[in-house]
């Protein structure tokens, strides 16, 4: 693959490979821990993905990984928690939640390529992506309970939706990490790969062949039902199918299918 454009941020690297964007958390000496600067950089990236004029109109997939081989992200930078009072802690959690929500709501498919440990906020970031692939050696966990706290960037909400309530509560209440193989078994991961970035690219390349309108609509329908229940989800699903049927891509795809079925 050839990099068409590259943008470097001090803590977040962006590299463009055609219609796939690779973002790399770039604090390897700190386990790619999520300090305020890195959270804000992810927020800026999410904003760019969500804006029609954000410079990524042709991007259909985002892959997020960590620099180095040790960590996807070891979680929130613990130094940022020192001295927080209740109101400041609430504000910090809401900011992180908003950044991860914006990432989840991006019209592109987003894939976490977990190259090492994904703990605490690092796992919460991975869960805010649509899909997750990991190296067999990766460890995943929510260890906040060991610091007399709980996940605050969406972990208590996204983890049970992926794994089921019982398994999520076990991870959250014990703080014990699980292996990549265990995470795959319980539905927290989609697949394993010795080179998770390459695995993520292969998955992204399968998805981006399809209509970007349909990709966005499928994401919206799934998340709508998850957040608001099946009745609203079904209504949204019907409306989104209608939107797709009105799109040029859908009409071209249907006609191409019919043409293939015509007798030779």
Write down the domain spans for the chain.
5-207, 212-261
Is the predicted pLDDT of residue 24 greater than 50, yes or no?
yes
Catalytic residues: 124, 144
Encode pLDDT of 188-204 as tens digits. 999 999 999 999 999 99
pLDDT-derived band at 99 (thresholds 50, 70, 90) equals: very high
CATH of 5-207, one of 3.40.50.1460, 3.20.20.30, 1.10.260.40, 3.90.226.10: 3.90.226.10
What is the pLDDT, as a whole number, of residue 3? 43
CA–CA gap between residue 54 and residue 37 (Å, rounded)? 20
- Running DSSP on this structure, what letter comes out for residue 32? T
List the CATH code of the domain at 212-261.
1.10.12
CA–CA gap between residue 35 and residue 75 (Å, rounded)? 9
- Where b means 16+ CB within 10 Å and e means fewer, 87-106 reads eeeeebbeebbebbebbbbb
Do 5-207 and 212-261 come out as alike in CATH topology? no
């Amino acid at each position: 693959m050839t990099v068409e454009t590259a943008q470097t941020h001090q803590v977040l690297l962006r590299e463009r490979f055609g219609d796939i964007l690779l973002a790399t958390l770039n604090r390897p000496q700190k386990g790619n821990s999520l300090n305020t600067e890195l959270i804000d950089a992810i927020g800026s990236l999410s904003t760019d993905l969500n804006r029609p004029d954000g410079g990524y109109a042709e991007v259909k997939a985002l892959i997020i990984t960590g620099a180095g081989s040790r960590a996807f992200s070891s979680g929130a930078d613990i130094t940022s928690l020192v001295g927080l009072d209740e109101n400041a802690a609430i504000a910090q959690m809401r900011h992180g939640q908003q950044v991860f929500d914006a990432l989840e709501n991006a019209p592109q498919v987003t894939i976490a390529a977990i190259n090492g440990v994904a703990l605490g906020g690092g796992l919460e970031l991975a869960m805010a992506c649509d899909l997750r692939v990991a190296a067999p050696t990766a460890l995943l966990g929510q260890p906040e309970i060991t610091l007399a706290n709980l996940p605050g960037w969406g972990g208590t909400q996204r983890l049970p939706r992926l794994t089921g309530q019982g398994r999520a509560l076990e991870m959250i209440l014990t703080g014990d990490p699980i292996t990549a193989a265990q995470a795959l078994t319980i539905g927290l991961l989609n697949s394993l790969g010795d080179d998770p970035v390459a695995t993520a690219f292969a998955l992204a390349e399968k998805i981006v062949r399809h209509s970007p309108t349909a990709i966005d609509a499928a994401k919206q329908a799934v998340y709508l039902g998850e957040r608001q229940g099946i009745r609203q989800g079904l209504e949204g699903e019907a409306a989104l199918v209608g939107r797709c049927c009105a799109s040029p891509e859908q009409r071209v795809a249907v006609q191409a299918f019919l043409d293939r079925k015509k007798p030779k």
